[in-house]
Amino acid sequence: MNTLVHDGSSEKLPFHAGELAIQQQAGTLAEAAWLGQRMIRDHMPEQHRLFFHQLPFLMVGSVDDSGQPWASMMVGAPGFIHSPDAQTVRINAQPLPGDKLAENMRDGARLGMLGIELPTRRRNRLNATVEHIDDDGFTARVEQSFGNCPQYIQTREPQLVKLSGPVQVHEYAVLTPADRALIESADTMFIASNAAASADTANASAAGADISHRGGQSGFIRVEDGRTLLLPDFAGNRLYQTLGNLHLDPRAGLLFIDFDTGDYLQVSCTASLVWDGPQVAAFAGAQRLLRLKVVGVRRLANSLPLRWSARSYWPQIESTGTWQQADRAIGLERKANEWRAYRISGTRDESASIRTFFLDAVDGLAVPSYTPGQFLPIRLPAAAGGLQRIYTLSAAPDGQRLQISVKRQGAASSWLHEQSTGAVIEAKSPGGAFTFDRSRNRSAVMLSAGAGITPMIAMLDGLLPNDGSQVHQLPIYFVHGARNAQEQAFAEELANKRASHRNLFVHLVHSQDGDAWSEAVQARPYRGRVSIDLLKKILPFDDYDFYLCGPQGFMQELYDGLRGLNVRDARIHFEDFGGDSPMRRMADTDAPAAKVELVDLASASPAAVKFHVSSKEITWQPEDGTLLELAEANGMTPLSGCRSGNCGTCASRVLSGRSGYVSPPGAQCAPEHILTCISIPLPSAAGEPLVLDL
Ligand code: FES
């Protein structure tokens, strides 16, 4: 629970130290401050008061005498929750028979409340202090009130039923097989947490319990053993109220509902966060994982007087994974360097020359995850010359299939454009360093021309999903140049996103007139080219990160122009697949010295290199050039793009040994990887070779 309510002062934030710590680690500190001051109120707005009034049940988070949080449900005919004024909520119901909530309900108790309307996926949160308890229920003073989005909620219609016979309460320490089955098939969970008064909170008297919803596909929670649960933490409101509480006090109370039988499973546990690692990377939609060690279980039968209609999943649920899919992806990750077959399962024309290809994995296994903005290395069949190319993925990952958008402009792209559904190509795992930097929390300007629109569309898809949620809250200016309306790709996609995201500003620029223009995306495209002069006209004064993708002359001109306006080099990101010459950068004068080891190619000493996958061992000499050139000269066909250290395409994992860069890298690559196009081997003291995963 938050400990400070926004009172109009810009200095006070509605977060306690635990929430701030998690926001800082997640890189959302500035966003959360902006959001929190607008979202969190010290009263219930009229809309929330009416919303709670119509609910047949209420989720409640409470804390027992030992400080253990409990997640509970209270049930009544609609109208049992009543708000006589904006500061007060009245609940005319009693805790369910056998529920710990009855013991935790006392004058002065700080409760977390979640109103959730499953048929419509609406939900609102409320934190309140109990002021009066009587035979009919209790009255509480509203401390905080805020809305939550409908993400991850499965719809079900609840129905009140009359129960007969006594409630059965079973308490034990280890999950039973029936508990495990319920949890492993669950698509919905509620979690209560607590920021105790004695914990590190700015206002201890205001500390208390919270309760929140977690949802996913059936199979999104793993029971690792009888005592440990593991579940993904998907993108949410970026305020991290639950995780912030757990940062201060790791005790949590879970509630699972058996929607078939009405059984009610309360699980006490201690939580820890897993911030990264292969399981986080492999679980579609996961930003981190929550590991919960079970310390106690209570199963209530014949207590909950509700039964439920069949489930209907949240429409975007397939953008999230299951543990079964994640396990497959981890297995596939180990095969990232291998070509896999993909079948073209559909196509869509985005413009007169750009076509999108939807790719399904032929082996039926999960498709690899990736970060929007990355590219897919592909290889055409031998009958098409076995050509290798890299094409940008043009949508955020959905865990189901891959999507590339290809401009017809050469042998490989022409072959692709001539294929119909069913054709098979090969692809390796996605790569590339041109991705949106979410740690910066700044307004962004995306500048593209021609086919350079594809990574921007993928990033936009990740930042502003079509479900109406917003991963990025700050303004995004999308500026794109095309020849005319016929060559304008993704116009409909941009129109849809613009209609549902008020922080997206689209500016299209056409160098020629065209017909059949849709005014849904922009009344009239600008006439001309994307230029610094145009940016000066359309961009309000702000602190931006710039993303560039398009023909090299286009990017160099804009890069030089932005640097001329004193935009720092570190603020300008670009996708450079190489051209006649690599992009020229001007380093920031105050940039820290590069941490990479720079070496002089001409004076380097011979060194042994081993290519692990190809089983080749070679003694490198300075005249062999870079490791990329050495591999190619020895019959290998590693992927490459810019060949100047700017795109990340040639990155290879170093299994052992030493290497150095002959020029500063412009692209970043994963830990233990190097850009082979600007790397050479260095001799080791023990004479061990440099071993590359190639
Ligand atoms: S090929 Fe672009 S970084 Fe090496």
- 152 and 281 in a single domain? The answer is yes
* CATH code of 470's domain: 3.40.50.80
Distance 678 CA to ligand 1 centre (A): 8
Domain contains 162: yes
Is 509 in the same domain as 466?
Answer: yes
Using 50, 70 and 90 to split pLDDT, how confident is the model at 405? very high
Range(s) of the domain holding residue 511: 443-574
- Residues 193/210, Cβ–Cβ less than 8 Å: yes
386 Cβ partners below 8 Å, 6+ apart?
379, 380
Q: How far is the CA of 431 from the centre of ligand 1 (A)?
A: 11
694 CA to centre of ligand 1 in angstroms: 15
User: Measured from the CB, is residue 607 less than 6 Å from ligand 1?
Assistant: no
**CB-ligand 1 contact for 652 (6 Å cutoff):** no
* 269-310 pLDDT per residue, tens: 999 999 988 889 889 999 999 999 999 999 999 999 999 998
Paired tokens of 87: 């500061």
Q: How far is the centre of ligand 1, averaged over its atoms, from the C-alpha of 644 (Å)?
A: 5
Q: Which of 644, 663, 669 to mutate to test the pocket of ligand 1 (most atoms within 8 A of CB)?
A: 644
| Any atom of ligand 1 within 6 Å of the Cβ of 223 | no
The 3 state secondary structure assigned to 287-316 is EEEEEEEEEEEEEEECCCCEEECCCECCCC
Instruction: Quote the CA–CA distance of 393 and 454 in Å, as a whole number.
Output: 7
CA of 625 to the centre of ligand 1 (A): 14
CA of 645, closest atom in ligand 1: 3
- Count CB-CB contacts under 10 A for residue 579: 14
Instruction: Write the burial class of residue 397 (CB in 10 Å: 0-12 exposed, 13-18 middle, 19+ buried).
Output: buried
Residues 549, 455: contact at Cβ < 8 Å?
Answer: yes
**Average pLDDT in the 620-641 region?**
90
Answer yes or no: is 600 within a domain.
no
Domain match, 306 and 341 both:
no
DSSP letter (8 states) at residue 58: E
Distance, CA of 204 to CA of 310 (rounded, Å):
43
* Domain end marker among 290, 324, 358: 324
Between CA 209 and CA 218 the distance in angstroms is 27
Cβ–ligand 1 contact at 645 (below 6 Å)? yes
677 lines ligand 1 (CB under 6 A): yes
* Residue 567 to residue 572: CA distance in whole angstroms: 8
What does the alpha-carbon distance between residue 357 and residue 350 come to, in Å, rounded to a whole number? Answer: 10
Domain boundary among 365, 397, 427: 427
The reply to whether 163 and 82 lie within a common domain is yes
Does ligand 1 have an atom closer than 6 angstroms to the CB of 641? Answer: yes
- Residue 1 confidence (pLDDT) above 70: no
Our CA angle for 563, 525, 459, nearest 5°, is 55
pLDDT digits (tens, 9 = 90+) for 176-199: 888 988 999 999 999 999 997 654
Q: How many CB atoms lie within 10 A of CB 71?
A: 31
pLDDT given for residue 542 in this prediction:
83
Sheet with 544-549, strands from edge to edge, namely 526-527, 504-510, 476-482, 443-449, 544-549, 572-574
Those residues with Cβ within 8 angstroms of residue 68's Cβ, 6 or more apart along the chain or in another chain: 251, 253, 268
| The two three-digit tokens of residue 448, written as one number | 């593209």
* Identity at 217, one-letter amino acid code: Q
Encoded amino acid at 291, one letter? R
Helices then strands, each counted (H, E), the chain? 14, 36
Q: Is 261 helix (H, G, I), strand (E, B) or coil?
A: coil
**596 found inside a domain:** no
Identify the CATH number of the domain in which residue 408 sits. 2.40.30.10
- Alpha-carbon radius of gyration of the chain: 28
Q: Is 606 helix (H, G, I), strand (E, B) or coil?
A: coil
**Distance from residue 417's CA to the centre of ligand 1 (Å):** 26
Where does a domain end: 324, 348, 379?
A: 324
Write down the pLDDT at residue 644: 80
Residue 646 CB–ligand 1 contact under 6 Å: yes
- The pair of structure tokens assigned to 181 is 């089955």
**Ligand 1 mean position, distance from CA 650 (Å):** 5
Q: Are 361 and 367 in contact (CB under 8 A)?
A: yes
Cα separations (Å) of 427 from 267, 387, 388, 403, 500? Answer: 44, 12, 9, 12, 34
For residue 646, the ligand 1 atom closest to its alpha carbon is: 3
642: Cβ below 6 Å to ligand 1?
yes
User: Who's near 256: CB < 8 A, 6+ residues apart?
Assistant: 182, 183, 186, 188, 189, 264, 265, 267
DSSP state, residue 409 = -
How many whole angstroms separate alpha carbon 252 and alpha carbon 246?
A: 7
- Closest C-alpha among 140, 132, 146, 20 to residue 88: 140
Written as six digits, the tokens of 18 are: 């635990």
Question: Within this chain, do residues 422 and 474 fall inside the same structural domain, yes or no?
Answer: no
Q: How far is the CA of 641 from the centre of ligand 1 (A)?
A: 5
- Best substitution site from 640, 659, 662, 680 to test ligand 1's pocket, by max atoms within 8 Å of Cβ? 640
Segment 322-334 shows an average pLDDT of: 78
Same domain, 392 and 482: no
Does 201 share its domain with 242? yes
Please check whether residue 592 lies inside any domain of the structure. no
CA of 651 to the centre of ligand 1 (A): 7
The answer, yes or no, to whether residue 383 has pLDDT greater than 50, is yes
**Considering only CA atoms, which residue is closest to atom 3 of ligand 1?**
645
pLDDT for the residue numbered 9: 39
Is 253 within a domain? yes
C-alpha torsion sign, points 609, 610, 611, 612:
negative
State how far the Cα of 416 lies from the Cα of 393, in Å rounded to an integer: 15
* pLDDT category of residue 8 using cuts at 50, 70 and 90: very low
- CA 150, distance to chain mean position in Å, is 16
Q: Decide whether any atom of ligand 1 lies within 6 Å of the 666 Cβ.
A: no
| Cβ neighbours of residue 686 closer than 8 Å, sequence gap 6 or more | none
Is the CB of 111 inside a 6 Å radius of any atom of ligand 1?
A: no
Is the pLDDT at 11 greater than 50? The verdict is: no
Residue 565 falls inside a structural domain = yes
Would you say residue 201 lies in a domain? yes
Token pair listed for 491: 């116009």
Question: What is the 8-class DSSP label of residue 173?
Answer: S
| For residues 661-679, average pLDDT | 83
The C-alpha atoms of residue 336 and residue 675 are separated, in whole angstroms, by 17
Greater model confidence, 535 or 466 = 535
CA of 677 to the centre of ligand 1 (A): 6
Q: Tell me: do 128 and 273 sit in the same domain.
A: yes
Centre of ligand 1 from the C-alpha of residue 676, in Å = 7
- Residues contacting 7, CB < 8 A, separation 6+: 42
The gap between the terminal CA atoms of the chain, to the nearest Å, is: 51
The closest of 425, 403, 329 to 368, measured between CA atoms, is 329
Give me the pLDDT at residue 16, please. 85
Class of residue 513 by CB neighbours under 10 A (exposed 0-12, middle 13-18, buried 19+):
exposed
Burial of 693 (0-12, 13-18, 19+ CB in 10 A): middle
Ligand 1: centre distance to CA 440 (Å): 25
pLDDT digits (tens, 9 = 90+) for 555-596: 999 999 999 999 998 899 988 765 556 677 777 766 555 456
| 655 CA distance to ligand 1 middle (Å) | 19
Ligand 1 pocket test, pick from 649, 652, 680, 692 with the greatest ligand atom count within 8 Å of Cβ, gives 649
pLDDT in tens, 434-444: 888 766 668 99
Closest atom of ligand 1 to 666 CA is: 3
- pLDDT tens, position by position, 97-142: 999 999 999 999 999 999 999 999 899 999 999 999 999 999 999 9
Contacts of 690 (CB under 8 A, 6+ apart): 607, 608, 609, 610, 627, 654, 656, 657, 658, 659, 681, 682, 684
- 519 inside domain: yes
Token pair for residue 201? 């909170």
Same domain? 369 vs 252: no
* Tens-place pLDDT, residues 28-57: 787 778 777 777 888 999 999 999 999 999
* Shared-domain flag, residues 307 and 349: no
Q: How confident is the model at residue 353 (pLDDT cuts 50, 70, 90)?
A: very high
Please state the domain count of the chain. 4
Phi then psi for residue 529, to 5 deg, are: -130, 160
Atom number in ligand 1 closest to CA 651: 4
Q: Is the CB of 648 under 6 A from ligand 1?
A: yes
Q: How far is the CA of 552 from the centre of ligand 1 (A)?
A: 15
670 pLDDT more than 80: no
Measured in Å, residue 251 CA sits from the centre of ligand 1 at: 47
Q: Based on the fold, state whether residues 502 and 403 are members of the same structural domain.
A: no
Q: How many residues does the chain have?
A: 694
**ipTM exceeding 0.90?**
yes
Percent of the chain with pLDDT over 90: 58
pLDDT (tens digit, 9 = 90+) per residue, 200-227? 444 444 468 999 999 999 999 999 877 8
Q: How far is the CA of 347 from the centre of ligand 1 (A)?
A: 29
> Tokens 């591999």 identify what position?
631
Any ligand 1 atom below 6 A from CB of 643: yes
Residue keyed to tokens 């707005």 = 45
Percent of residues in the chain assigned helix, strand, coil, to nearest 5? 20, 35, 45
b vs e for 371-393, b when ≥16 Cβ sit within 10 Å of the residue's Cβ? bbbbbbbbbbeeebeebbbbbbb
Same domain, 100 and 159: yes
**Mean pLDDT of the region 491-496:** 92
- What is the Cα–Cα distance from 439 to 546, expressed in whole angstroms? 14
- β strands within 226-374, DSSP E: 228-234, 251-257, 264-274, 286-301, 306-308, 340-349, 354-361
Amino acid letter for position 91: I
101, 70 Cβ separation under 8 angstroms: yes
* CB of residue 640 inside a 6 A radius of ligand 1: yes
